[in-house]
Amino acid sequence: MTTIDYLWLIPFVPLLGALLLIVAGRSMSRATVAWIGAGSVGLSALFVMGIGVDFLANPGVYEVSLWRWFAVGGLSPSIELRLDALSLIFIFVITFVGFLIHLYSVEFMREDSGYARFFACLNLFVCSMLLLVLAGNLVLLYLGWEGVGLCSYLLIGFWYEEPKNGFAARKAFIITRVGDTAMLIGLFVLFASFNTLDIDAILSNAPSAWEQGSGIATAAALLLLGGAVGKSAQLPLQNWLPDAMAGPTPVSALIHAATMVTAGVYLVARMHVLFELAPIAQTAVGVVGAVTLLMAGFSALTQSDLKRVLAYSTISQIGYMFLALGVGAWSAAIFHFFTHAFFKALLFLGAGVIIEALHHEHNIFRMGGLKNQLPVVFITFLAGAASLAALPLVTSGFYSKDMILWYAWAGEKGSGLLYAAGLLGALVTALYSARLVILTFFGPAKTAVSKLPGWRMTLPLGVLAILSILTGFLEVPHNFWHSQMISGFLSDVLPASIVRPGSEAYEWAIQLLAAVVTLGGLYLGYLAYLARPALHERVREKVAPLHQLMVTGWGFDVLYDVLFVRPVTWLAYVNRADIIDGIYSGIAQLAMAANRALASTQNGVMRWYVFGIVVGAVLIITLGIFV
């Protein structure tokens, strides 16, 4: 009997918190709400620690089956939780970062009238996300998958009095729903082939049932990729994430940076066997990642809203994870998820403090000079931004991104083109990180600071800043040191990444190149935004149309508006009388006419009724005798 038998407590406690807050949240005091909201996730995080200790003593794959969920036509999924190295990393991040963000929210949301509603949604989100990554079968995974989508919708539209927030929430929900539908069809394909949706069964049967590169494997993998792309805001379903910043900042940090948007990465990593059977699909993953990371990176470079810069940078960083998945560097993708969760949550929380301190000012061009006014935020934000920019040697982002770039070049499925995209992306990342920090914290102060954060807001910042720096040392490149904790830890679950023979000799060169590119990007940022501020204005004027395109996220909103939204609204306008409804109202009118005809026989003359009875009796007797 180990603590792993109590695995179900991890998602259960946040669920209990959410239920309590939904039912009785209105009548509770703010302190009670905060204790329940943050406490349930904190308790969950403690359970994860306990289970993690047991797991590290005996690594393996643990399955905890609770009860059979339902049984319909050969499909009988159970509520079963599955703990292995991959899900342990995810639940650790979800509960730990989740707890810090809950703690931060206790202070951040203190004056909001929807305090209990906020924590109820946030707890429900944590529960769904934990179910998603702990699910032992794809049906339960899909439950979590839709659960996080619902909570994301509820929280993006949290301040629903503003119509634009409701619009952003619906946009996020509908666009991810496109991907979810693809994923659901993918699940049907898997069920039709294997007659089960148990993850273990599928992964172990797939290699024998499906040939390498067969059509059905490719179809299934591509459909799952569709779901992953929608949830993780990758091309071509990426344009909901920048608008999702309409939600409160802790929501952006938890859902739209650290956890939910990486569900796609988890799905692809979890179903890696399918992608290895379908090289086309796996290449598609890599290409999607590479293109997304570049496009989002350039967009991040041009945004003026602090949170939108971070949103685009999240899309771009998840692009890196997809790139890693695409070249078969499974553990590199998970490692980057791990470091990214810390530094991006940190950046969002820092951004929340800044925005609140400056009277809800989002525009980075109206910030500046915060270095001295918000020193704690400055130092922690700097740590996060350095990690995002992958500052060599001292930050976690460097180690995780270097690992991805290395496998993009040297991996068995890597290619020069993917590597070049990653490298260019690294340059852009460094540039926009420098731009972000410089415009926000350096230069003259443009808006006065109105309030300073309390300990509940600064503590998470501090913890996350330390983690953003330190987690990188869990996995150090081979040629530095033999400390591959993440990939060693994941070796039971995910296959090792294979390097083309003969490329090891170039590892130093690749690392040096990555470091030079990063430093170059940072210097460029310093030059254009601090040393000679006129420079970036001049560049912007030179490429004004391109700049405009990047600001609008490469025009995807307009494109989708023309392609999908307008035809549908046009169709709705044309069909406003509702043709289909005519059939049903026709049936109704027929029934009404029959009713009127029958009602006229009820004329109140009793002899008519007697006559009716007689005729009926004669008819029945005649039928009885002669038929």
Partner 1 sequence: MSAIPIEYGLILAGILFMLGMVSVLIRRNIIFMLISVEIMLNAAGLAFIVAGSKWTQADGQIMFIFILTMAAAEVSVGLALILQIYHQLKTLDTDAANRMKG
Contact with partner 1 (CB under 8 A) among 607, 624, 626, 627: 607
Tokens read off for 258: 């650290």
Rounded to a whole number of angstroms, the minimum distance from the CB of residue 587 to partner 1 is 23
Q: Percent helix, strand, coil in the chain (nearest 5)?
A: 75, 5, 20
CB closer to partner 1, 208 vs 601: 601
Tokens read off for 497: 């990444």
CA dihedral sign of residues 341, 344, 347, 353: negative
Judge whether 464 and 343 are in contact, CB under 8 Å: yes
Judge whether 427 and 78 are in contact, CB under 8 Å: no
Contact with partner 1 (CB under 8 A) among 27, 58, 208, 602: 602
Pairing of strands 62-68, 78-83: antiparallel
Rounded to a whole number of angstroms, the minimum distance from the CB of residue 614 to partner 1 is 6
Long-range contacts formed by 453-457: CB under 8 A, 24+ apart: 453/107, 453/353, 453/356, 453/357, 453/374, 453/376, 453/377, 454/107, 456/103, 456/104, 456/106, 456/107, 457/104, 457/107, 457/108, 457/349, 457/352, 457/353
Contact with partner 1 (CB under 8 A) among 70, 508, 584, 611: 611
* CA 386/CA 392 separation, integer angstroms: 9
Contact with partner 1 (CB under 8 A) among 579, 606, 623, 625: 606
Which span (125-133, 236-244, 476-484, 606-614) binds partner 1, by CB under 8 A? 606-614
CB closer to partner 1, 416 vs 604: 604
Establish if 604 lies at the interface with partner 1 (CB under 8 A): yes
Of residues 12 through 51, those in contact with partner 1 by CB under 8 A are none
CA 249 vs CA 349, 433, 463: distances in Å? 7, 19, 18
CB closer to partner 1, 113 vs 602: 602
* CA 360/CA 353 separation, integer angstroms: 10
CB closer to partner 1, 577 vs 606: 606
Establish if 620 lies at the interface with partner 1 (CB under 8 A): no
Which span (237-245, 328-336, 339-347, 604-612) binds partner 1, by CB under 8 A? 604-612
Tokens read off for 390: 């992958």
CA 476 vs CA 101, 426, 471, 556: distances in Å? 28, 19, 10, 38
Rounded to a whole number of angstroms, the minimum distance from the CB of residue 127 to partner 1 is 57
Establish if 603 lies at the interface with partner 1 (CB under 8 A): yes
Establish if 614 lies at the interface with partner 1 (CB under 8 A): yes
C-alpha 419 chain-centroid distance? 25
Which span (188-196, 500-508, 565-573, 596-604) binds partner 1, by CB under 8 A? 596-604
* CA 543/CA 537 separation, integer angstroms: 10
Rounded to a whole number of angstroms, the minimum distance from the CB of residue 625 to partner 1 is 14
CB closer to partner 1, 73 vs 604: 604
CB closer to partner 1, 570 vs 608: 608
Contact with partner 1 (CB under 8 A) among 1, 544, 574, 599: 599
Which span (185-193, 373-381, 475-483, 603-611) binds partner 1, by CB under 8 A? 603-611
Tokens read off for 444: 């003259």
Rounded to a whole number of angstroms, the minimum distance from the CB of residue 591 to partner 1 is 17
Pairing of strands 475-476, 483-484: antiparallel
The SS3 assignment for 82 reads strand
Establish if 74 lies at the interface with partner 1 (CB under 8 A): no
The residue written with tokens 């992306």 in the block is 425
Pairing of strands 483-484, 78-83: unpaired
AA letter at 141 = L
Judge whether 401 and 336 are in contact, CB under 8 Å: yes
Q: How many residues touch partner 1 (CB under 8 A)? A: 10
Establish if 625 lies at the interface with partner 1 (CB under 8 A): no
| Binding string, residues 440-479; x marks residues near partner 1 by CB under 8 A | ----------------------------------------
Rounded to a whole number of angstroms, the minimum distance from the CB of residue 622 to partner 1 is 15
The SS3 assignment for 180 reads helix
CB closer to partner 1, 360 vs 607: 607
| Binding string, residues 544-583; x marks residues near partner 1 by CB under 8 A | ----------------------------------------
CB closer to partner 1, 27 vs 601: 601
Which span (24-32, 65-73, 476-484, 595-603) binds partner 1, by CB under 8 A? 595-603
Contact with partner 1 (CB under 8 A) among 505, 580, 597, 605: 605
Helix or strand holding residue 200 (H, E): helix 199-209
* CA 539/CA 533 separation, integer angstroms: 11
Establish if 597 lies at the interface with partner 1 (CB under 8 A): no
Rounded to a whole number of angstroms, the minimum distance from the CB of residue 20 to partner 1 is 55
Binding site residues, partner 1, CB under 8 A: 599, 602-607, 610-611, 614
